[in-house]
Amino acid sequence: MKYFLVIDEGTTSVRVISYSLEGKILAIKQKEYEQIYTKPGYVEQDINDIIKSLDRCVLETIKELGDDIISIGIANQRETTVLFTKDAKPIYNAISWQCRRTSSLCETLKQQGLEAKIKAKTGLKIDPYFSATKIYWLLHNVPHALDLANNGKLLFGTIDTYLMYYLSNGKIFKTDVTNASRTMLYNIYSKEWDKELCKLLDIPLSMLANVYPSKHLFGYTSCDSIFKKEIPIMGVAGDQQAALFGHLGINKGDTKITYGTGCFILTNMCEDYQNIDDSLITTLGVEYDNKTNYLAEGSVFYGGSLIKWIRDNLGLIKTAKESEACALAVKDNLGIYIVPAFTGLGAPYWSPEARGIICGLTAGANKNHIVRAALEAICYQVNDVLSLIAKNNKLNNVYVDGGAAVNDFLMQFQADISNMQIKRPNNIERTSLGIYYLLALAYGINICDLVKDDYNLIYPLMNKKERENLLDGYKKAVLKALNN
């Protein structure tokens, strides 16, 4: 059986999804790995755990389906940073996109008046979220790292780069434009690593991978890898851009919201990057067949992970699925608001120093009110971003995906508080589908001929006054979080 193999490497697990030529999912294998919290605000991952999880998923897939793999594609968590030697050995844990350890460095860069310059080149705000300051931290805090880098013996990669390097036994040192655009080192307009920014942060250009379109023959797996033969790697994209492509969001105004560990809101602006609000970031979309798309993006750091916190840290629910029943068990939030700024706030506030709060508690509150407030908090944060994008642009289609998109309460409240119709697909598996589309295109399949999933339409039902009152309460809660 011939099939496409998609590696979806996420924040908490790796999944290997196999697709038939026609786009039917044949198998899904998934293995979780731990986040490592060494200090408040510090988030790391053991890259060896990620590799072991990937190996197990691939081997289980081949055992079930055979090894007649047409090509391989990779979607990955984007800003997470790995430094490794040329024999593929990491010199330190991967620093997660969620990590805020470089907050003080980012503040210094801002005080030096560099924010406008960096935004003009990379489309990004100065923030610990992105890779550049993580690289700087590693070079200056891991023994001998800077010497290795200056001697051309140390490499940087987002996870896609490291996986390709590993699978090819060091023959592929590449990335794609979507991942490069998340580093705060890549000029998204000239399409090259920016020498001035690299010099500013003492990052040698020799550490940086060659950058290619998302649909590209990146190279082949090594015969002595887990695949045991050469298989072409034909598609690579950051997970959020891949998800938008998985909705075939290729027209101006097409928007997707992914409800995962965080929430990521991306709108396709095509070539109209000048019309993106300054509080948002500009990033590159999936590039294929010489088509460059600029995206307006806002990120919510704590989405599904807020529900995980409610479950694991507070013990209010046993499973994430229970959150919907809890929310529906009460008629409202009883004036309770949660601002989950555990590692700062992203768009539109960009405040690394903000801290999480629960406010409005009264004696009548019970666990259901708090769980409901947590779900609502996700929607408020998403609405902040949608409002900024919609201020200057028409949103044609608003798609949703991700694990939490199955929560009916969450989706209805999102439609209500944003006063927008949203489209939820029957198959919420969009990230890997976007990579499948890249592989199918490279194989010569016209993806427009493929049958698209039917979408369920969710309409706003809340009246204007109730919406305004809820938003007012949320804004007051955010001010408290910002002033913590």
List, for residues 142-195, the tens digit of each pLDDT value. 999 999 999 999 999 999 999 999 999 999 999 999 999 999 999 999 999 999
pLDDT reported for residue 26: 96
pLDDT grade for 228, boundaries at 50, 70 and 90: confident
CA–CA gap between residue 94 and residue 77 (Å, rounded): 11
CA–CA gap between residue 123 and residue 136 (Å, rounded): 20
pLDDT reported for residue 6: 98
CA–CA gap between residue 277 and residue 279 (Å, rounded): 5
H helix or E strand, kind and range, residue 266: strand 263-268
pLDDT reported for residue 453: 65
Tokens of 201: 């942060």
Q: What is the mean pLDDT of the chain?
A: 93
CA–CA gap between residue 326 and residue 82 (Å, rounded): 40
CA–CA gap between residue 179 and residue 363 (Å, rounded): 48
pLDDT grade for 31, boundaries at 50, 70 and 90: very high
Res. 234: pLDDT tops 90:
yes
DSSP notation for 333-393: -TT-EEE--BTBB-TTT-BTT---EEE---TT--HHHHHHHHHHHHHHHHHHHHHHHHHHS
List, for residues 186-207, the tens digit of each pLDDT value. 999 999 999 999 999 999 999 9
Q: How many CB atoms lie within 10 A of CB 217?
A: 12
Res. 77: pLDDT tops 70:
yes
Indicate the pTM of the whole model.
0.88
CA–CA gap between residue 373 and residue 359 (Å, rounded): 10
Identify the CA nearest to 379 among candidates 350, 415, 332. 415
Rounded to the nearest 5 percent, the helix, strand and coil shares of the chain are 35, 25, 40
pLDDT grade for 120, boundaries at 50, 70 and 90: very high
pLDDT reported for residue 444: 92
Domains 3-240 and 248-429+454-484 share a fold: yes
pLDDT grade for 451, boundaries at 50, 70 and 90: low
Mean pLDDT of the 45-61 span: 96
pLDDT reported for residue 402: 86
Q: How many CB atoms lie within 10 A of CB 385?
A: 28
CA–CA gap between residue 269 and residue 255 (Å, rounded): 9
Distance of CA 319 to the CA centre of its chain: 23
Mean pLDDT of the 379-405 span: 90
Tallying the residues shown for the chain, one arrives at 484
Tokens of 472: 């007012």
Res. 452: pLDDT tops 70:
no
pLDDT reported for residue 343: 76
CA–CA gap between residue 336 and residue 474 (Å, rounded): 9
Phi first, then psi: what are they for 87, rounded to 5°?
-95, 20
Distance of CA 434 to the CA centre of its chain: 14
Share of residues in the chain with pLDDT > 70 (%): 99
- In CATH, 3-240 is 3.20.20.70: no
CA–CA gap between residue 41 and residue 34 (Å, rounded): 16
Q: Is the CB of residue 280 less than 8 Å from the CB of residue 392?
A: no
Mean pLDDT of the 392-401 span: 88
pLDDT reported for residue 446: 86
For residue 190, the SS3 value is coil
pLDDT grade for 275, boundaries at 50, 70 and 90: confident
**What would be the CATH architecture of the domain defined by 248-429+454-484?**
2-Layer Sandwich (3.30)
Tokens of 347: 């768009």
Mean pLDDT of the 268-276 span: 84
For residue 99, the SS3 value is coil
CA–CA gap between residue 252 and residue 112 (Å, rounded): 36
What are the extents of the domains in the chain? 3-240, 248-429+454-484
Mean pLDDT of the 269-279 span: 82
Work out whether strand 192-193 and strand 186-187 pair parallel, antiparallel, or are unpaired.
antiparallel
